[in-house]
Structure 1
Amino acid sequence: MTGDGTASSSRTGEVFRLIRRDILSGALAGGERLRSTMLRARYGAGLTPVREALARLAGSGLVTGQEQHGFRVVPTSEEDLRDITRVSVLTESDAIVRAVERADGATDAALLRAFEALAGTPMRSEADTGGGVHDAWSEAHRRFHESLIAPCGSSWLLQLNALLFDHAERYRQLAFRVAPDRDLVDEHRRLLDAVLGRDPARAAALVDAHWSATAEAVLASGALRSGGDGSTPPLRKGAFGSGAPS
């Protein structure tokens, strides 16, 4: 590949990461029109990198549309949140059970390091009054969940979980805003302890509780409602899977 081609590919990758970050954080809202002129100004990029980045994002399911008809951020909805949560509980619960059965000293050490990194990373800055979450915390959170299931022995489960984790991030960011007092360090410590204690049933139930708490916070807030009478029935703990331990 020529030097110009390498530079173009690198710039496309950078624009892809920036747009993806802003979609997942909610800075680019669900349903928002992604005009190339706006994106070029926002990211200081040329037309080709923007077009190629949008095509990649469409392939990953975060953006919908075609170049000729325009692109939009895939909308968020209560139905989508419920669906993502149910499938995520199924796949991550299965993966964590398999991971516990295959875990060893090396994977335990990696998981403990991931937890320590997560617990030691500030979730927000004191100056942030909008409830935003640090990129560094989001990345540490991702790495912890990856480490939880890393020994599962299934590349397909790992890929599916990574895809679902991405698509859930927009709802996760919203949940952190509407439920800022949730004790996430304790939730993750319990998951850590269940894996280190080789308790697959408890680990799976905690995965259910963890995902369900996020969905419940968002649904209870009414932030995704549109039309109707505005009511959302309350969800019991473990509403999306096998139920949480006491």
Structure 2
Amino acid sequence: MAKRNGSSTLSENVTKKLQSEILAGQYEPGSPLTISELAKGFDVSVAVVREALTRLATQGLVLQNPNHGFSVRMASEEELNSIIEARLINESAALRLSIAHGDLTWESNVIAVHHKLSQTPEYKEVNHKLAVREEWSDIHRQFHYELIAACPNPVLLDFCRRLWDLSDFYRHYSTPQQQVRDGRAEHKELMDAVLNRDSDRAVEIFRTHIQLTADILFDNR
């Protein structure tokens, strides 16, 4: 049992590390993920890497082909539009429910994580290109999760988180050569609408916020 638990922990760690690297853009969309090379790089067994890749395939960040192994998912305008449409439907519903059911503790949590987000630099320069800082990415995820955290429907929340992972892949992939959006202002405006319990305004801002990701990506390809 101890051995199984240890293997499971290793797999979880490798899954998180690979997920972080994929979302950070360290692998090009469509690039192969060779199990033996990854196992050597992470200093773990092939079985651990295979389990990690299978988990990421379930999340949609990795593609699994019986004849060609694993690869990073491809990026397409059609798929991104589908993801955005699904987020607009599901996350907007979760946001409305969260605003309706959220209490003072929830409001405090939203304010706290927004403060952390506003004080954390978003980009760093890597090889003369902008790249999203991992710390900022984690806090950004927390902020959007917290906005809908008071939604009482756990199935809806889980679906929103899965869609977020897919959307986050594209957001990293769409990092521009120059900063072309005022993310801090967008997040502040969204938080204010949520705290004012203005569901219609919050959903409108949210819609514009995530649509801009697609606009930046496919205008800068």
Normalising by structure 2, what TM-score? 0.93
Aligned to 1:42: 41
Aligned to 1:197: 196
Aligned ranges 1:120-131 → 2 under 5 Å: 120-125=119-124, 129-131=128-130
Aligned to 2:173: 174
Amino acid at match of 2:39: R
Aligned to 1:75: 74
- The answer for unaligned runs of 5 or more in structure 1 is 224-246
Indicate how the Cα distance of structure 1 residues 68 and 8 shifts in structure 2: closer, same or farther if over 3 A, else same: farther
Contact 1:25–1:169 under 8 Å retained in 2: no
- The answer for unaligned runs of 5 or more in structure 2 is none
Deviation at 1:163, TM superposition (A): 0.4
Aligned to 1:156: 155
- Corresponding residue SS for 1:180: coil
In the alignment, is residue 143 of structure 1 matched against residue 142 of structure 2? yes
How many equivalent pairs are there? 221
Q: Distance in 2 between matches of 1:75 and 1:196?
A: 37
Q: Which digits, 9 at most, give the CA deviation of each residue in 1:9-58, with x for residues without a partner?
A: 21111111111112222212221111112212332322121111112112
- Corresponding residue SS for 1:206: helix
- Aligned residues: percent identity? 32
Amino acid at match of 1:96: L
Q: Distance in 1 between matches of 2:4 and 2:84?
A: 40
Contact 1:121–1:137 under 8 Å retained in 2: yes
Normalising by structure 1, what TM-score? 0.84
In the alignment, is residue 86 of structure 1 matched against residue 85 of structure 2? yes
Aligned to 1:52: 51
Q: Distance in 2 between matches of 1:92 and 1:18?
A: 26
In the alignment, is residue 64 of structure 1 matched against residue 68 of structure 2? no
Aligned to 1:19: 18
Q: Which digits, 9 at most, give the CA deviation of each residue in 1:127-162, with x for residues without a partner?
A: 773211111100100000011111121112211110
Deviation at 1:67, TM superposition (A): 6.0
- Corresponding residue SS for 1:153: coil
Aligned to 2:183: 184
- Corresponding residue SS for 1:171: helix
Q: Distance in 1 between matches of 2:148 and 2:207?
A: 14
